[in-house]
Amino acid sequence: MNEPNLPNPDLTAQIAAHSEPMQRLVHEIAKTLVGQDVLVHRLLIGLLTGRHLLIEGVPGLAKTTAVATLAKAIDADFQRLQFTPDLLPADLIGTQVYRPQQQAFVVQKGPIFANLILADEINRAPAKVQSALLEAMQERQVTIGGETFRLPDPFLVMATQNPIEQEGTYPLPEAQMDRFMMKVVVDYPTRDEELVILSRMSRSRPSVDIQSVTTTDEIIAARELVDAVFVDQQIAEYIVDLVMASRKCEAYGLSIGPWIQFGASPRATIDLTLAAKANAFLNQRAFVLPQDVKAIAMDVLRHRVMVTYEAEAEEKTSEDVVSMILDAIPVP
């Protein structure tokens, strides 16, 4: 595919300049995190698009560490919320508190009023708390005692969940899962990476001094350039075809209809486009290539394609379905 003629010839230079803070973030996070390049890359995409991430992996893979380190490397407000079965919505968004001195109720804001929110083990909280969080994610505002409060900008929720301990959990419904731009699955480190982890962290008090290397203003400025990244009509049609193939697979020559219960929503089309633009930005390009779409399509679609019992009986997962779609749809 030929490089498109961009309407703004200076855009590439602007992107190169504004992507430099992202490179500083990667370098700073690497002081603590070993490997997990994909996770760090997806966290940056979330920052650049203002969309939320769901991170899944077994315990001990540094999911929480990755998000906490990212927050330290940004001059921004950060709150870590440990979700538990006894958590209440008021513990998240805040409530009205009576002040005897003033003889009136005043609003006590909750920890949701921060730029970066780490929702640790989100599937351990009951439905009311999950709904309160997801409403804040969607509306970027909360209501306390009839008064509406805007959340800060940028506002990014990074939720983690454990796939193996299901006792005492409240799995996120499919409609709420759709609120997350990407579901990132974190895998075990390689042997060499684990050796580095051992040498770096096998101390009673491993300490790494993480410095703040960027600001929220720089992130917001970078977002404006991400919005300006060019998407060719062929790329747009490719994205739409990928999402449509998850709903009407027969129209695309795929015989996997009995495996799909629900396909991806229109929100997936928007998120896939935004993520591809952010991926191009991180590669210092002012236009999207098909490789940008394919690089992040699995993370954008895996939690949005619901498989049937028939697929489960044949040991087929949503990732298998997405892989087949990616192989079947011609790349422009």
pLDDT, tens digit, 9 for 90 and up, residues 174-213 = 777 888 999 999 888 888 988 988 887 777 666 667 888 8
Domains of the chain: 1-228 (3.40.50.300), 229-332 (1.10.8.80)
**Higher confidence at residue 45 or residue 138?**
45
What DSSP letter does each residue of 9-37 carry, written as one string?
Answer: TTHHHHHHHHTHHHHHHHHHHTTT--S-H
pLDDT in tens, 255-264: 888 899 888 9
What pLDDT is recorded for position 167? Answer: 61
Contact 278, 225 (CB under 8 A): no
What pLDDT is recorded for position 168? Answer: 60
pLDDT in tens, 146-160: 788 899 888 888 888
User: Which of 5-14, 21-30, 237-246 has the highest average model confidence (pLDDT)?
Assistant: 237-246
pTM for this model (two decimals): 0.87
- The lowest-confidence range among 13-17, 77-81, 158-162, 174-178 is 174-178
What pLDDT is recorded for position 37? Answer: 85
- pLDDT at residue 302 greater than cutoff 70: yes
Position 227 confidence tier, pLDDT thresholds 50, 70, 90: very high
Residues 6+ positions from 40 with CB-CB distance below 8 Å: 26, 29, 33, 66, 70
Query: What is the mean predicted confidence (pLDDT) over 312-319?
Result: 90
Task: Provide the strand spans (E) within the chain.
Answer: 53-56, 74-75, 78-82, 94-99, 104-109, 116-120, 141-144, 147-150, 156-161, 182-185, 214-215, 260-262, 306-307
CA of 237: how far to CAs of 33, 57, 99, 149, in Å?
Answer: 37, 33, 58, 38
Position 107 confidence tier, pLDDT thresholds 50, 70, 90: confident
Token pair 């490789």 is found at 291
- pLDDT at residue 291 greater than cutoff 90: yes
Q: Which candidate, 262, 298, 292, 283, places its Cα nearest to that of 182? A: 298
What pLDDT is recorded for position 309? Answer: 92
- The lowest-confidence range among 8-17, 21-30, 41-50, 288-297 is 8-17
- pLDDT at residue 19 greater than cutoff 90: no
User: Which of 49-63, 77-91, 276-290 has the highest average model confidence (pLDDT)?
Assistant: 276-290
- pLDDT at residue 1 greater than cutoff 60: no
- pLDDT at residue 171 greater than cutoff 80: no
- pLDDT at residue 5 greater than cutoff 60: no
What percentage of the chain exceeds 70 in pLDDT? Answer: 94
Average pLDDT of the chain is 86
**Higher confidence at residue 5 or residue 53?**
53
What pLDDT is recorded for position 165? Answer: 59
